[in-house]
Amino acid sequence: MKLSIIIPAFNVEKYILNTLSSLKNQTDNNFEAIIVDDGSTDATNRVVAEFIRSNNIVNSKLIHQENRGVSSARNKGISEASGDYILLLDGDDFLDNQLVEYVLKILEKESYDILCWKIDQVQPDRTIFYKFTDLYPYQKDIESGPLVLNDILDKRMRICIGSAVYKKELLSEKHLLFSENYYSGQDLEFTYKALIEADTVKFLNKTLSYYVQHEGSKTYSYNIFKFHSVLALQSVNDYIDLKNNSELQEISNKLRYSAILDNYLFNLKSCTKALCSQGLSARKAVKKVSEDLTNTLPEVKKVIEGLIENHPRKKIKEKVSIQIFSLSPYLYYVLNRLGVCLSNRMRNGLIKNKNHLRI
């Protein structure tokens, strides 16, 4: 039994030593680390090579390729992996020192298609920003993949890159790889398709990895290609339709009329906020996002218009939200911002002082 840890790396010279140190400090070294430098223009390649050499890490492999994007780098790592299970880790995140030991002990007793665990969101100085349990009340042990996906769509659970291992045999048999045509959303598409195919998913009720949120994150910048995540989720829905499985219909409906629309609206708010931070008014920012979508990603607008037209609108909140958005995306944005401000005040009161914890 061996674990392959795949790390795509692009211009992460400031962060990747933290990631690599969390591998070096593992209490069980029965793993291989495959670092794929995706054409970095900074010192990432040199930093990784020096770390491997100076620490005499024999179970590590550094691969360099021309810049083709994170999906290509992940796929390259998967193709090179020799482990029975695969863990995908971003080049600025890190693991609990006992992750490999915990994971392999469980998998040596019983084989699962996917094993997942809690992941906390932290700042670069390791101050905890959000704990998994602050947001997700998930307590189940073993479920089928579709049932876990249903809980994810109901926002009771989340699986991130870095918080799960996948049986390599499952990925090979189902031809599961990362789509290389999307700027964002590839991780959701990969995870959701893997869950659709998984017979057994075990949840380990322990925090074993940490997602680092820093200022360089694309979450806080303007890029119209963030809306690729809408197309990635639509791809999952198309994947379900091809299976013609009535048991997956509920998931399909939640993807169509909740997840995809929510994702679109999230990106609308994110892009508008980024433009406002550059000096645009909210009205002009929303207008620019709409125009850029029309000119650059008309397929996204087509998907959303079709979903709004056919939306069952079973809940009053959904009905009102969609009607407001259809009338004026700007008005929707303004009202939503007011709601977010109020909910943030309530949430900050409930979890006061939690973000001062350190790990």
Domain boundaries, the chain: 3-214, 219-350
Task: Please report the pLDDT score of residue 341 as a whole number.
Answer: 44
Question: What's the topology of domain 3-214?
Answer: Spore Coat Polysaccharide Biosynthesis Protein SpsA; Chain A (3.90.550)
User: Which one is predicted more confidently, 42 or 354?
Assistant: 42
Report whether 112 contacts 202 (CB < 8 A): yes
pTM: 0.89
In which residue are the tokens 């094993």 written? 115
pLDDT digit string, tens, across residues 120-149: 999 888 899 899 999 998 989 999 999 999
Over 60: is that where the pLDDT of 216 sits?
no
- Return phi, psi of residue 81, to 5°: -70, 140
Q: Where are the alpha helices (DSSP H) in the chain?
A: 16-24, 44-54, 70-80, 99-109, 132-135, 145-153, 168-173, 186-197, 228-243, 249-254, 260-277, 282-296, 298-310, 316-327, 329-350
User: Which one is predicted more confidently, 215 or 117?
Assistant: 117
pLDDT digit string, tens, across residues 160-184: 999 999 999 999 999 999 999 999 9
Q: Exposed, middle or buried by CB within 10 Å (0-12, 13-18, 19+), for 276? A: middle
Average pLDDT over residues 203-208: 96
Average pLDDT over residues 190-206: 97
Task: Please report the pLDDT score of residue 310 as a whole number.
Answer: 81
What percentage of the chain reaches a pLDDT higher than 70? Answer: 87
Task: Please report the pLDDT score of residue 355 as a whole number.
Answer: 46
Task: Please report the pLDDT score of residue 94 as a whole number.
Answer: 96
**HSE of 189, CA atoms in CB hemisphere, 13 A:** 24
User: Which one is predicted more confidently, 187 or 315?
Assistant: 187
Strand partners, 142: 202
Average pLDDT over residues 273-278: 92
Q: What is the mean pLDDT of the chain?
A: 89
